[in-house]
Amino acid sequence: MRSVTYLDNNATTQLAPEVLDVMVPLLRDGYGNPSSIHELGRNAAKVLEEARGRVATLAGCREEEILFTSCGTESIHTAIQSALAIDPDKRHIVTTAVEHSATIRLCEHLAQRGYEITSLPVDSSGRLDLEQLAAAIRPDTALVTLLWANNETGVLFPIPEIAEIVKRKKTLLHVDAVQAFGKLPLALGETDIPFLSASGHKIHAAKGVAALYINRRVKFVPLLRGSQENGRRGGTQNLASIAGFGVAADLARQHINNRQILEWRNAFEENMLSVIPGCRVNGDRTNRLANTSNLSFEGVESEGALILLDKKGLCCSAGSACTSGSIHPSHVLKAMGFSNERARASLRFSFGRYNSQGDLARACEVIPSVIEKLRALAPAGSPVIRAGK
Ligand code: PLP
């Protein structure tokens, strides 16, 4: 495979070599079922519990509060469905307009089944109004479910304050921390968060392994019934991937205060803003993940930019999704009040710890030339590119 400059770490991350090293022998030799009582099974159970301990340490909670699942989406669905099952008379959910599709699609489905969904707006920086959040919670609200870090802009919601509000209102909270887990220090044992979702493939573990934190003081109703995971999730555990997730969690903890990624992202952004006229940062620049930069380039279609950047070996994401041949501007940027043009002119660059100074230099070399080329190709009458930020 040709070498690429990978700036799409919010989509997924490469496996850490240490993760692969623990997974391969388990896939080859460690095939015991953790529920079996023979030696191979007992060894597998030990591996499973060690991994649970490692993930719990990163989350700052007890081992028994970690449930292994197959993906972040499953964790989110399990938490939401569990909260609804605890009190079937409560049929109202509070969420936000900028959630991941895993939450949005489930809420749409629940709305069709008679649940009432309040989707809170955000301001032009992607921030939530906490007074509006408090006012939206009613006696029949079963759950508040929202992101910690937005996958498109990296903007952080103030979860500790939100957790206090939701607790005061005697409602359950689920936090989609799929992008925040392993990037922000967590001490869940010291918070009042009932449910929190995380996913392995965002922190250099394999795809298809994830976790749901379930506060031990909270009632839980399983989504997949069976005997595994203490009766909380049926299905034989994906042992090799779970062991890899444990190692990835240890590595994330070791790197959590490393400022290298923040320095690369900031240097990248400063370069883009000073070199490319009509380039703007999308979202709150203060309360944001250290690795994410969502930029709009005035007068440029992000799909075209993505294709040209891909040809030059640079991987990033567009602020829009192409479905059935038509381009939909990102719902996150639209919720921030952006015009279709600005939303369609946006690209997300997300750094990870396997990037290098060379990747930064390559991005700073390639992106301005691609934007210039696309602007030169734009038909007469396209929006005028003004100099400045
Ligand atoms: N939530 C957020 C914020 C995400 O970014 C993602 C994945 O991109 C998910 C949920 C879904 O996670 P998974 O791909 O593990 O199902």
Domain boundaries of the chain, sorted by first residue: 5-13+257-376, 17-255
Residue owning tokens 């734009």: 378
Query: What's residue 385's pLDDT?
Result: 47
Strand duo 116-120 + 92-96: pairing: parallel
Pocket probe mutation, ligand 1, options 99, 152, 202, max atoms within 8 Å of Cβ: 202
Query: What's residue 324's pLDDT?
Result: 44
List 196's β-bridge partners, or say none: 175, 213
Residue 154 beta carbon below 6 angstroms from any ligand 1 atom: no
Kindly state the average pLDDT of the residues 111-135: 98
What CATH number does domain 5-13+257-376 carry, 3.40.50.2000, 3.80.30.20, 3.90.1150.10, 3.40.50.720? 3.90.1150.10
The CA angle 63-65-67, to the nearest 5 degrees, is 95
CATH topology of domain 17-255: Aspartate Aminotransferase; domain 2 (3.40.640)
d(CA 307, CA 301): 10
Residue 189, Cβ density class (10 Å: 0-12 exposed, 13-18 middle, ≥19 buried)? middle
36 pLDDT above the threshold of 60: yes
Which pLDDT band holds residue 328 (cuts at 50, 70, 90)?
confident
Q: What is the pTM of this model?
A: 0.96
Reduced to 3 states (helix: H, G, I; strand: E, B; else coil), residue 351 is: coil
Residue 160, Cβ density class (10 Å: 0-12 exposed, 13-18 middle, ≥19 buried)? exposed
Residue 309 beta carbon below 6 angstroms from any ligand 1 atom: no
Query: What's residue 378's pLDDT?
Result: 77
Q: What is the Å distance from ligand 1's center to 122 Cα?
A: 20
d(CA 133, CA 140): 15
d(CA 52, CA 47): 9
Residue 102 beta carbon below 6 angstroms from any ligand 1 atom: yes
d(CA 99, CA 178): 11
From first CA to last CA, the distance across the chain in angstroms is 37
pLDDT tens across 336-353, in order? 999 999 999 999 999 999
Query: What's residue 319's pLDDT?
Result: 61
68 neighbors 210 (Cβ within 8 angstroms) = yes
Q: Please, which contacts does 190-193 make with residues 24 or more away whose CB atoms are closer than 8 Å?
A: 190/60, 191/160, 191/163, 192/163, 192/164, 192/166, 192/167, 193/159, 193/163
pLDDT tens across 229-283, in order? 999 999 999 999 999 999 999 999 999 999 999 999 999 999 999 999 999 999 9
